[in-house]
Every structure is written in structure tokens, then in C-alpha cells.
Amino acid sequence: MKVIITGGVAGGASAAARLRRLDEQAEIIVFERSGYISYANCGLPYYIGGVIEDPEELTLQTPESFFARFRVHMKVRHEVTAIHPERKSVSVKNLDTGEEYEESYDKLLLSPGAKPTQPRLPGVEQERLFTLRTVEDTFRIKEYINQNHPQTAVLAGGGFIGLELAENLRALGMDVTIVQRPKQLMNPFDPDMAAFIHSEMRRHGVKLALGHTVEGFETKDNGVDVLLKDEPPLHADMVVLAIGVTPDTALAKDAGLELGLKGSIVVNDRMETSVPDIYAVGDAVQVKHYVTGQNTLLSLAGPANRQGRIAADNICGKDSRYPGSQGSSVIKVFDLTAATTGINETNARKAGLDVDKVILSPMSHAGYYPGGMLMTMKVIFEKSTCRLLGAQIIGYEGVDKRIDVLAAAIHAGLTATRLKDLDLAYAPPYSSAKDPVNMAGFMIENIANGLLKQFHLEQLSSLPTDGSITLLDVRTTQEYAGGHVEGFCNIPVDELRERLTEVDPHKPVYVICQSGLRSYIACRILTGHGYDAYNFAGGFRFYETVIHDRRLTEAATACGMDQT
């Protein structure tokens, strides 16, 4: 059996290695148009910033090491220019010599990945304008920085690459601005959770120009002007386009393969395309979302590697199936860690799901053990069934392990109430006896059983102001004096039982505290005395962060520059 693979990074390299482990006699040839294989896309910004010092650390394998171990022919700087399904061959061009030839196959695996989205804007060909996707892109940016010592940079786009690059350019001492049309960074997160990311970026001096449309680029004063719609331009010594990626599927289209979202390759759960004996994996393919079942695109290394393995299994006669992509991801944002899995509240509502959420601020480990730090968790579930839909966590330590527990719970089909039953490891330096994941489960069970009624940030502005309800802040008098939501009166929770006469029993009571814990206790006290009580999800800490971010973003939209 002869197998041709186009693309030698995550999906292609994983498939090649798996093929060899399953079939020692197969002839396996990988064509990779760049000069590198099996490299870590996610590590590229950290080489630019100097965190990764040795460029060889960016590549997990070389063509020589891959051949030595797997006897797979890795042909770098070779581009597949056409697919001929009718005669089961591909046209190949050696990019170094210009030689062109055809190579036959029994099975063909496409792993072309995705390319940086290139907007059709005036001046996009500027020499000081870069994209970051390949090792060569990385070296080009690094060389430009070393030779020209730029002091300012504008990054167009606030996704994974944009944020990681911003951090690394700041580490080099550069003044960095992120500009984009959406009013939030990191779309996998809901706007309220993205507020914590915005705060951290601003805290480290990154300017955010959110809600602005880039209309073009002009060379000016030995730099680049980023032209904005209805706003003055942003000037910088260099610009990096990081507005997203587009499936690189021109070959598949020309060969007549069925295409889906944004021109991606349609595959079944065996990673088979619409043409016999042609498989496809990675960023170029359309997949099913594991939670919603809807078609989606997810450019992540983990799914690409698993898809490569599944395709290899099926090429070798096995029956492996890809269950769908869940979108689990994590990113370092300066000192913060931000992670997500499943779907966020925004997309859940777009999918027509009737959702609810809990927001909590647990410590990363036992409070009595030194060094514990707060994290913010948002867990999304379906109201009627308590089906666990997704989660977002932002904090300083312990974020990654909690998101992985929640990702496993979603994959296993656990209901959100079952989170309370998970038997998770505990020692004071690492967790609490009631782990944050368990706490989320307790809260959701209380909602399901009617013990907890909530109100949310988006409901605050619509609460009646005619005196028909009571607004109660149960923090200490000192906390209340340091800042509170307008209209809320203050009775500390530990004084509440003795001061119940100050609360009208005939009115619903809406209660807030710093994190949501004391206000929940207050709600139980009130409910036990016959009151109709509602707890504010997330607490004043959550409210303050989100409202402050909204004000800064609105001000930046109005004046064209971030107010840090």
C-alpha cells in the first residue's frame, strides 16, 4: 500500500507515524511545502519573545529523524499542486529546483491546515506587515525585530496568536496595540469573562482598540499607518495580521471534493472525504461540535492529532471514529491563565438552547495554605435537563486542571449536578476538600432543587426602581463603603437575623456580596423566614470587573484609543 500525505505538521505527521506503527510494509510519502515538519505552531510567539531561545526547539522532528525512526519519506519544500482522483495521483513541485512530477497513491491524506486570513485591503502587501503561521513566518518577524529594533506594533486581531504575540512583544519592550472589529478579545469566551482578559492585557500596558474596523495600510514615516473606519489611523513600526485563519483547501476544491463552512473539506466521522480513498484531517476540515452536533471549524492541535490517528487507522482497515470537537483550549495571558471547553453562553443561546449558568470565585487551593489565588469560573448548563454544555475559567493557578475535569465530564455525558459527586484529589497545596468543580455542582444542584434562585448582571438594569423590591448588599460596612451597586442598601450577613425587621417581608429581596457565597447564605436565611430571595451570580467582584471593562471599551470606541 502506498500512502501520500499532503502536509507534515500536526495531523499529517501524526497520521504518518500511526500508519507506520500499523503497517511496516506501507510506502509512506509526506509532501510539506514549508521547510519544516512536525513543528509547534503554538510555540512560535514564544520564540519571537525569547522565551524559547533555540529555534531547533520549535520542531519536534526533522525529516532525517522521522525517517530514521519511521522510514517515512518526508519531502519538505515540495508542494502538491493538483490532485487527480481519476488516476489516483498528485502533481508535485520541488520548490527548490522547480522540478514537477506526478506521484501515484493508493490512499491520499490531506492535511493542508489553514492559512492566515488575508483581507483584501489597500496596502496589505506592506513590507512591515507580517502574518504568523509557519516557522518561516517566525524567523521573518524575529529577523525584522533584530535588525530594525521596532518600538511600536499594531496587532490586527485578538485571538490566540494575537494575545500570545502581544505578550511576547511587550517582553521585548515594545508598545503594543491590538485593534479589531469585535468589542472583545478571545471569542471562545463570553464578553463578561473576556473582561478579565482585557483587564490583564491593560494591566501589562497593551492598548486595546476594540470595535474598530481596519480599512487599509499605508507606508508613512518609516512605519505603517493602520487606517481605521471613521477614526484617525494607528501608526506603528510593524503590523501583524492575526485576524484568524481560513481553511487552505484550493487543492480539494479543484479536485471536486465536497466543501463546507468557509470552504472547508467535508468529512465523515472516519475522516473520509466525498471522494473514495481520499481522507482529510486538521484545520482544513469541517467537523461536528461535540456539544451541539452542529457543523463547525476548530483550529486546534489536539483535534488535528487525534484526527490524523483516526484516519491512519481507517486507511489500515480498522474502524475508528471521530466523535466531534469540543473546543477545549487554554492560553497564558501574562500572569493569568484562561481556559474554556464546550460552548459558551453566547453560542448556546444562538444554538437555541435554554441555558442557565453559575459563576463562582473559588480559591485555587485551601484558603489556610499560603499562596492560594482566586479564579473565576462560569459553568453553562441546560435548564430542563442540567446537561453540562461548557465552562470558562480564568485565574492564576489550577485553572488548567479544573477545565480538564470539566472537559472530561462533558465528554462523558455527565449532568452538571453530577459534578458534586466527582472524587477529586485533595491536599492543601493543590485544592480544597470541596474542589471548585464540586462547588459548581453543588450550586447547580441547589438551582435544580429550588434552593437557589439567581439574578444576573444583564438583569440589573431592568430591575424595578419603584420600591417594589429590596436591593440588599450583605458585605461588611467597610466593603460597602469601598464601592457598591447604586440602589443597594447594606446589612452585613452576620447581622441579618437581628435586623430582619429592616427588610420588608412583602417584597422580593435581591442580594449581592463580594463573590456570591455570603449572599447565598443570606438568601437561605431570608428564605427560612419566608422571604422571596434572589442571589446575584458572580458577586460584586464580577460586577465591578465587567462594568469597568465596558466603560473602558465604550470610551475607547468613542475616542479611538484605549484608556489604560
Residues noted as catalytic: 42
Q: Is the alpha carbon torsion for 112, 117, 118, 119 positive or negative?
A: positive
Element (H, E) at 70: helix 63-70
Q: Which cell is 287 given?
A: 467537523
The owner of cell 464601592 is 483
Half-sphere exposure for 396 (CA within 13 Å, toward CB): 10
What's the one-letter identity of residue 459? Q
At 336, which amino acid appears?
Answer: L
The answer to whether the CB of 34 falls within 8 A of the CB of 7 is no
Query: What are the start-end ranges of the H helices in 149-281?
Result: 160-171, 191-203, 250-254
Secondary structure (DSSP) of 154-185: EEE--SHHHHHHHHHHHHTT-EEEEEESSSSS
Angle at 78 between CA 77 and CA 82, to 5 degrees: 145
Q: For residue 447, give the nearest of 513, 516, 364 by alpha carbon.
A: 516
Q: What is the DSSP string of 440-489?
A: HHHHHHHHHTTS--EE-HHHHTTS--SSSSEEEE-S-HHHHHT---TT-E
Q: How far apart are CA 434 and CA 417, in angstroms?
A: 14
E strand or H helix at 109: strand 107-110
- Number of helices and strands (H, E) in the chain? 15, 31
What's the DSSP call for residue 243?
A: S
Radius of gyration of the chain (CA): 27
